[in-house]
């Protein structure tokens, strides 16, 4: 008998945690997953309340993630996959334990605190043949997938210039001292890692460039800075990129850019044309062929590619974006999990979700940026492992 729904557990995402709720909406959106177990907080009372509110059986609400991995892996109806939605410093310790128990993983980004830690996890994932997805959710937007398809078809010709930026303003003041939980851990290097703004949102801009263009970075020059007095991590980063093959690029990420909420955008220019996409207006992609008027491509329209329409749920003109982007990654992972769980053939070349290797590259990006900035913005080789 074919098992249609995949059993999933969650670590993190207890009451008052922002991203856990986002993941729960995303995994439920297409009806492919059933949330059956969780260890939602280091505070067991919080975890029990969260699990009860979600309708979980009492014996599948766990005090620790270690207990959860042990007991779920021993059950005949245990979870197939776990969603890890904790602060950054816990991603790898949790993932290691579940991977060693043969449980597949969907993990929030960035992957780890260091590339060495990430590579250690990669070895465990490979040895245990674990499906591992990293939720760089912007790769799930339909118009991002359309941009990727245009470049794969060489519609822009040889790529020349790529500009990505992700400005926010929510850390313009030292809100981490006000008790705001999301700001507290993101500005604590012991929990967020060495990169603050560059790790939290700069990695999104970097991943978006890599996902859409496929270009590999050869070297970079970075200037990161902390504008808010007393803050322990960076809150602004400006980076120049040189790509293999000759293209040039820039990334600007900031969490002190007053007037910006989540203004992620990317512009790509080739010898034959250009593309522009903005996350805050995600239903449209602007494609300009040299010598022709700019074309506005609408999500869900006949002008959108198959790759875009495959991840589109509602008609054009209706908002679709952030939650659906997460859901599309969950849906992509589901296809592979479903095939494996039901002993069906699966073509891995169809995988479109960010994986463990993208996570390692993201960590190497952060480390190279820090190295360059600490050496007066010296051009620094990007040696991806």
**Where in the chain are the domains?**
6-130, 141-312+361-381
Q: What is the CATH number of domain 6-130?
A: 3.40.50.720
Give me the pLDDT at residue 348, please: 84
Ordered per-residue pLDDT tens for the chain, 385 residues: 467 899 999 999 998 888 999 999 999 999 999 999 999 999 999 999 999 999 999 999 999 999 999 999 999 999 999 999 999 999 999 999 999 999 999 999 999 999 999 999 999 999 999 999 999 999 999 999 999 999 999 999 999 999 999 999 999 999 999 999 999 999 999 999 989 999 999 999 999 999 999 999 999 999 999 999 999 999 999 999 999 999 999 999 999 999 999 999 999 999 999 999 999 999 999 999 999 999 999 999 999 999 999 999 999 999 899 999 999 999 999 999 999 988 899 988 878 999 999 999 999 999 999 999 999 999 999 976 5
Alpha carbon distance 360, 253 (integer Å): 20
Within the chain, what is the greatest distance between any pair of CA atoms?
Answer: 65
Give me the pLDDT at residue 356, please: 97
Question: Taking Cα atoms as reference points, which of 299, 266, 269, 258 lies closest to residue 282?
Answer: 299
Fold held by 141-312+361-381: Dihydrodipicolinate Reductase; domain 2 (3.30.360)
Are 133 and 109 in contact, with CB atoms under 8 Å apart? Answer: no
Is residue 242 helix, strand or coil?
strand
Q: What is the DSSP string of 51-106?
A: HHHTT--GGGB-SSHHHHHHHHHHSTT--SEEEE-S-GGGHHHHHHHHHHTT-EEE
Give me the pLDDT at residue 290, please: 98
Give me the pLDDT at residue 17, please: 86
Alpha carbon distance 195, 113 (integer Å): 9
Q: Measured between alpha carbons, how far apart are the two ends of the chain, in Å?
A: 42
Give me the half-sphere count of Cα atoms (radius 13 Å) on the Cβ side of residue 305. Answer: 18
Question: Taking Cα atoms as reference points, which of 148, 142, 153 lies closest to residue 304?
Answer: 142
Asked if domains 6-130 and 141-312+361-381 share a fold, the reply is: no
Alpha carbon distance 269, 290 (integer Å): 10
């Amino acid at each position: 008998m074919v098992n249609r729904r995949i059993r999933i557990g969650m670590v993190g995402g207890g009451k008052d945690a922002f991203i856990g709720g986002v993941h729960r909406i995303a995994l439920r959106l297409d009806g492919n997953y059933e949330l059956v177990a969780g260890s939602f907080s280091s505070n067991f009372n919080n975890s029990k309340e969260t699990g009860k509110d979600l309708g979980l059986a009492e014996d599948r609400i766990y005090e620790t993630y270690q207990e959860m991995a042990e007991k779920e892996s021993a059950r005949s109806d245990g979870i197939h996959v776990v969603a890890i939605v904790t602060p950054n410093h816990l991603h790898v310790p949790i993932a290691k334990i579940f991977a060693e128990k043969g449980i597949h993983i969907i993990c929030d980004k960035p992957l780890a605190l260091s590339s060495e830690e990430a590579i250690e996890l990669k070895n465990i994932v490979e040895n245990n043949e674990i499906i591992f997805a990293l939720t760089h959710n912007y790769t799930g937007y339909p118009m991002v997938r359309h941009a990727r398809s245009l470049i794969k078809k060489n519609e822009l010709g040889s790529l020349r210039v790529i500009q990505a930026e992700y400005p926010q303003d929510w850390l313009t003041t030292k809100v981490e001292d006000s008790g705001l939980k999301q700001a507290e851990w993101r500005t604590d290097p012991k929990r967020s890692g060495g990169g603050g703004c560059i790790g939290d949102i700069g990695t999104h801009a970097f991943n978006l460039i890599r996902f859409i263009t496929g270009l590999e970075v050869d070297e970079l020059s970075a200037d990161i800075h902390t504008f808010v007095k007393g803050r322990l991590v960076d809150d602004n980063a400006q980076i120049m990129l040189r790509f293999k093959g000759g293209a040039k690029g820039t990334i600007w990420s900031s969490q002190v850019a007053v007037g910006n909420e989540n203004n992620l955008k990317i512009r790509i220019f080739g010898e034959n044309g250009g593309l522009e996409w903005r996350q805050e207006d995600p239903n449209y992609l602007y494609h300009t062929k040299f010598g022709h008027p700019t074309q506005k491509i609408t999500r869900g329209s006949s002008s959108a590619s198959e790759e875009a329409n495959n991840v589109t749920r509602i008609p054009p003109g209706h908002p679709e974006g952030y939650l659906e982007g997460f859901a599309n990654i969950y849906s992509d992972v589901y296809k592979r999990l479903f095939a494996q769980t039901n002993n069906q053939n699966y073509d891995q070349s169809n995988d479109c979700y960010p994986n463990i290797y993208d996570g390692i590259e993201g960590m190497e990006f952060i480390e190279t940026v820090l190295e360059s900035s600490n050496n007066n913005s010296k051009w620094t080789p990007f040696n991806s492992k």
